A and B are shown apart, each in its own frame.
Chain A
Amino acid sequence: GAGVSQTPSNKVTEKGKYVELRCDPISGHTALYWYRQSLGQGPEFLIYFQGTGAADDSGLPNDRFFAVRPEGSVSTLKIQRTERGDSAVYLCASSQDSARGYTFGSGTRLTVV
């Protein structure tokens, strides 16, 4: 597509529920990144995919967070047993080459109540 698409744009869920956040990168971009942005903060790295594999998942906060990219295009960030502290904006970015910078999507605002 023309840009990075993230769905849903907003998600409200109850504490303890499971959520999936979707990212559709720019066509042809092999690298995909997930970041999390809390209110008043800069985005923080979660995970980086090169193709289908997670090349670096060091930013995932705990084992409740998991991400996949089975066909090297669309990625899904999965959060189990959500907690109120998971509330944030989850941003996805893609790039053809990090030397050319990232292109970000509009984000998914997750609210855990």
Chain B
Amino acid sequence: KQEVTQIPAALSVPEGENLVLNCSFTDSAIYNLQWFRQDPGKGLTSLLLIQSSQREQTSGRLNASLDKSSGRSTLYIAASQPGDSATYLCAALSGTYKYIFGTGTRLKVLA
């Protein structure tokens, strides 16, 4: 049974810092992994999708990496801004349709 863990649970950093959010999964047989952002009281916004055959994906200041063999993914945020404050969730696609989510990392970027 796939389990997804995110560390740290919460993170507070000053504006401008580069930071890394971690995601680990127990079953390496995944099809892809997706990172989402969730603002308080809102739904999920997709940030990056990494296929199992890929090592990383980049979008603007965001870079996500995937290491299937070690069961890990990281989300790197460069030059953090207060507007980046949100909860970041990773989800591993186990089987062909079901995403298993971590519990998220609550990020606060201080101005």
Question: CB-nearest residue of chain B relative to A92?
Answer: B43
Which residues of B from 51 to 99 have beta carbons under 8 Å from A? 51, 89, 91, 93, 96-99
A interface list, Cβ under 8 A from B: 6, 31, 33, 35, 40-45, 48, 50, 55-56, 91, 93, 98-107, 109
- Evaluate contact between A31 and B101: CB separation under 8 angstroms: no
- Give min CB distance, A96 to chain B, whole Å: 12
Query: Which B-chain residue is minimally distant from A3 (CB atoms)?
Result: B43
Q: Counting chain A CB atoms within 10 Å of each CB, which of B4, B49, B99, B104 scores highest? A: B99
| Min CB gap B105→A, angstroms | 11
Known: A42-B89, A105-B43. 20 other contacts (CB 8 A): A6-B43, A31-B97, A42-B4, A42-B101, A42-B102, A43-B89, A44-B101, A48-B97, A55-B97, A91-B44, A98-B31, A98-B97, A99-B32, A99-B51, A101-B32, A101-B49, A102-B34, A103-B46, A104-B45, A107-B43
A104 touches B44 (CB 8 A): yes
- The residues of A that contact B104 with a CB separation of less than 8 Å are 42
A91 touches B97 (CB 8 A): no
Provide the bound-state CA to CA distance between A17 and B4, in Å.
34
A108–B101 Cα distance when bound, in Å, is 19
List B contacts of A41 (CB < 8 A): 103
Asked if A56 and B97 sit within 8 Å, CB to CB, the answer is: yes
Taking a contact as CB atoms under 8 Å apart, the answer to whether A98 and B101 are in contact is no
Q: Report the separation of the CA atoms of residues A24 and B99 in the bound assembly, to the nearest whole angstrom.
A: 20
Q: Which of B41, B46, B102 contacts A109 (CB 8 A)?
A: B41
Per-position 1/0 for B1-35, Cβ under 8 A of A: 00010000000000000000000000000011010
